[in-house]
Amino acid sequence: MIFFDEKKQIWKLDTPNTSYILGVVDGKYLAHLYYGAKVADTDLSYLLRLSEGSGVPSKNPAESVGFMDGLPFEYPVSGRGDFRESCISVRNAAGQEGLELCYVDCEIVQEKEPLQGLPASFGENVNTLKIRLSDEVLHLSVILSYSVFEDVDVITRSVLVCNDGEQELFLTRALSACLEIENENFEVLSFTGSWSREHIPERQKLLHSAVTAESFRGVGGHDGQPFLALVSENATEDAGKVYAMHLIYSGNFYGKAKCNPHEQVRMVLGIQPEGFCCKLEPGETFCTPEAVMTFSGQGISGMTHTLHDFYRQHLIRSKWKFAERPVLINSWEAVYFDFTTEKLLEIVKEAAMAGIDLFVLDDGWFGKNRNQPSGALGDWFCNEEKLPGGLKRLSEEIKKQGMLFGLWFEPEMISEDSCLYREHPEWVLHTKDRRPGLCRDQWMLDFSNPAVIDYLYEKMEKVIDEAGLSYIKWDMNRGICDVGSEYLPADRQGELLHRHVLGVYELQERLIERFPELLIENCSSGGARFDPGMLYYSPQIWCSDDMDPVERLSIHEGTAMIYPISCIGSHVCKSPNDITGREVPFATRGIQAMMGTFGYELDITKISEEEKRAIPEQIKAYRGIQKLVQEGDYWRLASYRENGLYNVYMVVSKDKKSAYVIYMQVLARPNTKSRRVFFKGLDKNQLYQVSDGEKTECFRGDVLMQAGYLFPHRQRDFVSVFLRLEAVEDEI
């Protein structure tokens, strides 16, 4: 709901439990007034304390810079005396930067429009406030859009910058959102990580030095998320305030939270300004990616639930969003590059017998010499020497076994040893006269060039069509450097990284339009491009190459803190694990893979008969909870990352009738009693049947939540328990 007090020029944006208030100050400056728990009143301008300072510029022009440096601007500019972080910077024809954005008018529309070329949230019950600001010297206008969702506590923000004048301008910074609030002893929540250790949450006290979250890699990277949150000092899972921002974008991002000496905290998020420069010819516009903003007064879990609901309901478009996803088996860690049709078909046969739905042939199937990572990228045709009869024959055999077929691609890449490179060396990203740097022996294609996108579309479409694919895994195994394009003119090279991202979106969009049933799983060397932008195209994303169930506990905890678990690609790995060397029982590997979209990644022909027999049981158990994985509320109960001993989480259906709990005792401890765990999210009056597969007991919801459940201690390492809870009628 959007309220507009036209006389006072104040807007109040209400979601079910929050209010966001902004208004015009001194007839022209757009300021932030309030964000937090829902309030009834609209005019909270007293919070600006305007009478306490030097006053407003119209009354005291002698101190206009002091005013600029103190007002909580909705969309701060650079160059006019606000010496804090700005959201927008524009260079004029004279090479100078500086602008002043003043309020012009507003419009409230009962919808959420798509963003040209960018992924964006959508929904039925959404109202959008569009506020137009403009700079009368540069003839530049900026439209700030706030979309207010009626079913979830989210406001999304994006910005459209328009050059209305007659001189060309250069946009050197265009962030998506700014939030300015007074410090309440906040901490900053962000994410860190590395290959095989992605998405690890981190909290630090916000002092007066800035905390940033950023990427320069062209993708989000393993080491961060386009996300920042301010959280109350002692915020727990269930209590405390959380102000979070998350960017729907898959390239370089920049987030910063900084507190000034007057305890005003400014938090911004958007495209990374370093290396970014977008030319705006007269009449041209630039649209920023959308930022998702949420406030929770119920601690971290409140934020988690809001983001999960929002992404499921308002961002993921795929028809697979709530449909039963196929249980897959992926060939990568089973055979790597070393396979023949016969070997693959042995795997397929065993997998089909075990009840697995989809066979995914990972890297190694294409080009002329893809038996190691150094060749053939760009040559998206089947290597018939390796796979005689081609994909068609393989596909027919897979389908005869009643399975679906999926393939791996890495479309953004090119190998030096490839037909594509021999034909189009100019398609490689490079700067003039410099050989581009290799990473995994590969280079980047120039996705700003439409001919490259057309070429890839044509090749991929042909393969998907001919092989009858139901699934593709879209990989991206390196960071982008040597950022130079032979296609773009010199004054547009600063747009290249952003245009790369737009090219990725365009190609995925075209493939989805052509194959609406296709399930895309995005991936980037594990989880280096796990972001909300990708979710718009693919309902599941490969979370990490590290499938070791112990390592996955922390990776999963961080990922699921901000992404629905139905998006988290999660496979039963082999043992010993190829990355950690750790040996974990098959049962535990199975249970822990139920953290997300379930699959297998091992040579099923080489596992024991007992393990083979366990697979149909595991699949049955997963089918039993799949609806919960896709639609339920996820609760963290205990974090191995924090306690070093055990991990517990649970998922409860929206109607609270059904739930599952996954417990893992990582290491056994001598002389230890059973462990008491307090459940969450249940109906306190409801009686539940709790079953661990061996025994079944009944407990009431309040007992499980207030008195707790006892998980017995086992004299073994890496033990998991999988509990199912079903509501039952009371016996009278």
Residue 732, token pair as written in the block: 């009278």
Residue from 88, 523, 535, 543 that binds ligand GLA (CB under 6 A)?
A: 523
By CB under 6 A, the residues from 528 to 547 that bind ligand GLA are: 542, 545
DSSP 8-class letter at 683:
-
Question: Could you tell me the smallest distance in angstroms from the CB atom of residue 424 to ligand GLA?
Answer: 23
Q: By CB under 6 A, tell whether 193 contacts ligand GLA.
A: no
Torsional class of 133: left (φ above 0), alpha (ψ -120 to 50), beta (otherwise): beta
Residue from 11, 186, 332, 646 that binds ligand GLA (CB under 6 A)?
A: 332
Amino acid letter for position 535: L
Residue from 294, 383, 525, 647 that binds ligand GLA (CB under 6 A)?
A: 525
Segment contacting ligand GLA by CB under 6 A, of 138-146, 520-528, 619-627, 631-639: 520-528
Active site residue: 357, 545, 548, 633, which one?
545
Question: Could you tell me the smallest distance in angstroms from the CB atom of residue 541 to ligand GLA?
Answer: 11
Contacts of 134 (CB under 8 A, 6+ apart): 101, 102, 104, 140, 141, 142, 164
Q: By CB under 6 A, tell whether 526 contacts ligand GLA.
A: yes
Closest CA to 632 of 669, 601, 657: 657
Residue 323, token pair as written in the block: 């449909």
Binding map of ligand GLA across residues 654-673, x = CB under 6 A, - = no contact: --------------------
Nearer to ligand GLA, 199 or 258 (CB): 199
| Residue 415: strand pairing partners | none
Whole-angstrom Cα distance, residue 441 to residue 64?
55
Question: Could you tell me the smallest distance in angstroms from the CB atom of residue 456 to ligand GLA?
Answer: 18
Q: By CB under 6 A, tell whether 415 contacts ligand GLA.
A: no
Q: By CB under 6 A, tell whether 362 contacts ligand GLA.
A: yes
Number of residue whose CB is nearest ligand GLA: 363
Question: Could you tell me the smallest distance in angstroms from the CB atom of residue 635 to ligand GLA?
Answer: 29
Closest CA to 518 of 312, 318, 331: 318
Q: By CB under 6 A, tell whether 549 contacts ligand GLA.
A: no
Closest CA to 524 of 542, 508, 538: 542
Number of residues engaging ligand GLA in binding (CB under 6 A): 11
Nearer to ligand GLA, 198 or 309 (CB): 198
Question: Could you tell me the smallest distance in angstroms from the CB atom of residue 360 to ligand GLA?
Answer: 9
Nearer to ligand GLA, 408 or 660 (CB): 408
DSSP 8-class letter at 481:
-
Segment contacting ligand GLA by CB under 6 A, of 67-75, 246-254, 304-312, 523-531: 523-531
What's the Cα-to-Cα distance from 556 to each of 7, 226, 261, 567, rounded to whole Å? 50, 17, 37, 11
Segment contacting ligand GLA by CB under 6 A, of 317-325, 480-488, 518-526, 644-652: 518-526
Nearer to ligand GLA, 330 or 554 (CB): 330
Q: By CB under 6 A, tell whether 408 contacts ligand GLA.
A: yes
Residue 247, token pair as written in the block: 């960017």
Nearer to ligand GLA, 135 or 363 (CB): 363
Reported residue count of the chain is 732
Question: Could you tell me the smallest distance in angstroms from the CB atom of residue 666 to ligand GLA?
Answer: 25
Could you give the 3-state DSSP secondary structure of residue 27?
Answer: coil
User: Do you find a cis peptide bond into 411, omega within 30 degrees of 0?
Assistant: no
Nearer to ligand GLA, 24 or 361 (CB): 361
Which H helix or E strand runs over 613? helix 609-631
Segment contacting ligand GLA by CB under 6 A, of 15-23, 140-148, 522-530, 667-675: 522-530
By CB under 6 A, the residues from 690 to 719 that bind ligand GLA are: none
Question: Could you tell me the smallest distance in angstroms from the CB atom of residue 371 to ligand GLA?
Answer: 12
Active site residue: 475, 531, 546, 633, which one?
475
Is 475 one of the catalytic residues? yes
Segment contacting ligand GLA by CB under 6 A, of 488-496, 521-529, 616-624, 656-664: 521-529
Residue from 223, 350, 446, 475 that binds ligand GLA (CB under 6 A)?
A: 475
Nearer to ligand GLA, 295 or 474 (CB): 474
Edge-first strand listing for the sheet containing 18-25? 2-5, 10-14, 18-25, 29-37
Q: By CB under 6 A, tell whether 320 contacts ligand GLA.
A: no
Question: Could you tell me the smallest distance in angstroms from the CB atom of residue 36 to ligand GLA?
Answer: 40
The DSSP-derived string for 200-258 is EEEEEE--SS-EEEE--SSS--TT--SEEEEE-TT--SSSB-EEEEEEE-SS-EEEEEE
Which H helix or E strand runs over 702? helix 701-702
| Residue 360: strand pairing partners | 330, 406
- Report the interhelical angle of 609-631 vs 341-354 (nearest 10°): 70
Nearer to ligand GLA, 128 or 540 (CB): 540
First to last CA, the chain: 46
Three-state secondary structure readout of 359-406: EEECCCCECCCCCCCCECCCCCCECCCCCCCHHHHHHHHHHHCCCEEE
Closest CA to 592 of 643, 661, 656, 526: 661
The answer to whether the CB of 299 falls within 8 A of the CB of 187 is no
Could you give the 3-state DSSP secondary structure of residue 289?
Answer: coil
Amino acid letter for position 424: H
Task: Look up tokens 């990572």; give the residue.
Answer: 373
Residue from 176, 190, 477, 686 that binds ligand GLA (CB under 6 A)?
A: 477
Nearer to ligand GLA, 362 or 495 (CB): 362
Nearer to ligand GLA, 415 or 477 (CB): 477
Question: Could you tell me the smallest distance in angstroms from the CB atom of residue 417 to ligand GLA?
Answer: 16
Whole-angstrom Cα distance, residue 139 to residue 157?
23
Contacts of 730 (CB under 8 A, 6+ apart): 687
The answer to whether the CB of 370 falls within 8 A of the CB of 383 is yes
Question: Could you tell me the smallest distance in angstroms from the CB atom of residue 380 to ligand GLA?
Answer: 15
Question: Could you tell me the smallest distance in angstroms from the CB atom of residue 599 to ligand GLA?
Answer: 11
- Interface residue list for ligand GLA (CB under 6 A): 332, 362-363, 408, 475, 477, 523, 525-526, 542, 545
Q: Would you please indicate which residues are annotated as catalytic (active-site) residues?
A: 475, 545
